[in-house]
A and B are shown apart, each in its own frame.
Chain A
Amino acid sequence: MAELNELYQQVILDHNKKPRNFKRLERANCEQEGYNPLCGDQITVYLEMDGDLIKDVGFQGSGCAISKASASMMTTAVKGKTKEEAGVIFDEFHRMVKGDLDAETEQNHLGRLKIFAGVREFPARVKCASLSWHTLRAAIEGHGESITTEDEHRQD
């Protein structure tokens, strides 16, 4: 039960209920749809890029509490960061939720995102937590086509 409480922490429930930057950006110059075909979660990430800088970021879509809270906290974490900085955070986040990085003992740039460490105890939910990040990366890279979490599966 302790694991369940760690997964559904108050901050995560709060971001699920009141997601930040939950909007379509009028001035977006990058837009990307992401999709988890296993559960039907769907997200669209909007970016306003100024060169390499993420000037503004928003998202819309539907999904579980983990995916929605993760998307919400992702937007607050990467706003004002450069592409490279966002990439580093994604890499650390991904390793943390898969249990490959201990955010408490190893050096990292995760900050408040450490709250998602509990996801590592729920392997079935890793894709929920990382859908928005995969979508963000594809948006930055100008992927264009809709991406799915199954691409991640193949990489694993």
Chain B
Amino acid sequence: MQAAFEEVDAQETPTNRFDVDRIREDFPILKQRVHGRPLVYLDNAATSQTPQSVIDAITNYYSAQNANVHRGVHYLSQLATREYEDARVRIQRFINAAETHEVIYTRGATEGINLVAQSYGRKFVHEGDEIIISTMEHHSNIVPWQMLCDGQRAKLRVIPIDDDGELMIEEFAQMLNKRVKMVAVTHISNALGTVNPVKRIIELAHSQDVPVLLDGAQAAPHLKVDVRDLDCDFYAFSSHKMCGPTGIGVLYGKSHWLESMPPVMGGGDMISSVTFEKTTYNTLPYKFEAGTPNIEGAIALGAAVDYLNSIGLDRIAAYEHELLEYATEVIGAIPGVRIIGTAREKASVLSFTVEDIHPHDIGTILDQEGIAVRAGHHCAQPVMKRFDVPATARASVAFYNTKEEIDALAAGIQKAIEVFS
């Protein structure tokens, strides 16, 4: 047995070449101590940390490039515009979109979903129509559709999930019909870690001519996203969960949908001509980008994409998978721990409860050990209801986390059990 293991190691699998110590050097924040202990940051599903190259991109923008975009003939404006639009091209390649203009800058995944709900929704969803979401959605992929359905007198329908936290695909297939105007589901669940079979979902929906929006907020930093391979109609994600800054994100949409959709916000930059009688809208993607955009954010997101590419999403996924397996084993072995979300395919997220200790108390005790986890309902109250828990503690790993940090988490949970024994 021993010999066999050594042989595997000798082959240099992608994961054992993964130099996490070297990668951690890129993140200044990871060097700090919290309550006298080394910071163990396991709240990546809430927001990821920022590498030096992204921090530098922000600093450099304000030090050497700051000007408004798409407006000036002067040097700085042209420089800022070039950087801003270059970032769009890099993001296009990152998700393998067919066209650059299919990449719309937003404030984040939430705004992207709201944009589709308001723009596509008001044009194509009418009384008696149906929108399908799932039980495991983040509130940001529930509430915009509820708001739309309320306004249009449409019906919101919900795909159930099983006890492992997997979507019930056969039930979903039964729910599809001619009145369904949109299927909006998450690629990866933020509360359970489930990786959904989105290709299958899209195939089923498309067989009935129903478009699909994927909430990619959790997926974009953890696996290679290829919107053309998925064939999704919309894909929304946030910069701050993928090593970029907050306040910027992307909505990908297929050209033909975006062309047919009206703008939601009016203002500068989204028009080609304005008179008091009539305004002609600008072409894509500017039609959906009213006002001076988050230029710094877009450029920094471009730097984050470069950074992730420099490591490679496939290698990130493989390393994080190993880390999550290890965490599931170590944390799951602690007596009294119940893991919420046991889907076959998972990424990054380990949601759990410990005996009858409230997750909030676990969060406070872990914090005293320097360990950052999320405690609460994770903006997914229907998921909590489905599993009959008021809240969970959630550790979510990124590629800069280590097995030693998982061990620290395990020790912290033991400590919480001691405090409450």
Contact = CB atoms under 8 A, between A and B. Distances in A.
Interface string B387-416: 000110000000000000000000000000
Given A39-B359, A39-B376, A63-B358, 11 more contacts: A3-B368, A8-B419, A40-B381, A40-B384, A40-B390, A63-B390, A64-B359, A64-B360, A65-B360, A124-B364, A125-B360
A124 B364 CA distance: 9
B391 A39 contact: yes
Contacts of B420: 8, 13, 65
A4 B419 contact: yes
A147 B273 CA distance: 49
Which 4 residue pairs across A and B have the least CB separation, nearest first? A64-B360, A64-B358, A40-B377, A62-B390
6 contacts: A8-B419, A38-B376, A39-B391, A63-B390, A64-B361, A65-B360
B365 interface: yes
B375 interface: yes
A41 to B, nearest CB: 8
A119 to B, nearest CB: 10
The binding surface of chain B is classed by DSSP as helix
Interface in A70-104: none
Contact of B365 (A4, A13, A42, A62): A4
A122 B381 CA distance: 25
B370 to A, nearest CB: 12
A93 B411 CA distance: 34
A138 interface: no
Contact of A7 (B357, B364, B376, B377): B364
A57 B86 CA distance: 64
B376 A1 contact: no
A62 B390 CA distance: 7
Size category of the A interface is 20 to 34
Interface string B209-240: 00000000000000000000000000000000
Given A63-B358, A63-B390, A65-B420, A39 B375 contact: yes
Contacts of A124: 364
Contacts of B368: 1, 3-4
A39 B381 CA distance: 10
Contacts of A40: 376-377, 381, 384, 390-391
Contacts of B357: 65
Contact of A122 (B364, B377, B384, B390): B364
Nearest to B391: A40
Contacts of B381: 40
Interface in B339-387: 357-361, 364-365, 368, 375-377, 381, 384
A125 B364 contact: yes
Contacts of B419: 4, 8, 13
B190 to A, nearest CB: 15
Nearest to A40: B377
Contacts of A68: 358
Contacts of A62: 390
Interface in B115-171: none
Contacts of B384: 40
Contacts of B358: 63-65, 68
A46 to B, nearest CB: 20
Given A4-B368, A38-B376, A39-B377, A128 B390 contact: no
Nearest to A125: B364
Nearest to B420: A13
Contacts of B360: 39, 41, 63-66, 125, 128
A4 B361 CA distance: 10
Contacts of B391: 39-40
A44 to B, nearest CB: 14
A66 B362 CA distance: 12
A39 B364 CA distance: 13
Nearest to A8: B419
A39 B360 CA distance: 8
A7 B359 CA distance: 16
B128 to A, nearest CB: 32
B389 to A, nearest CB: 9
A64 B392 CA distance: 11
Chain A CB count within 10 A is highest, among B357, B360, B365, B384, for: B360
Contacts of A128: 360
B33 to A, nearest CB: 15
Chain A CB count within 10 A is highest, among B364, B375, B391, B419, for: B364
Contacts of A63: 358, 360, 390
A125 B420 CA distance: 17
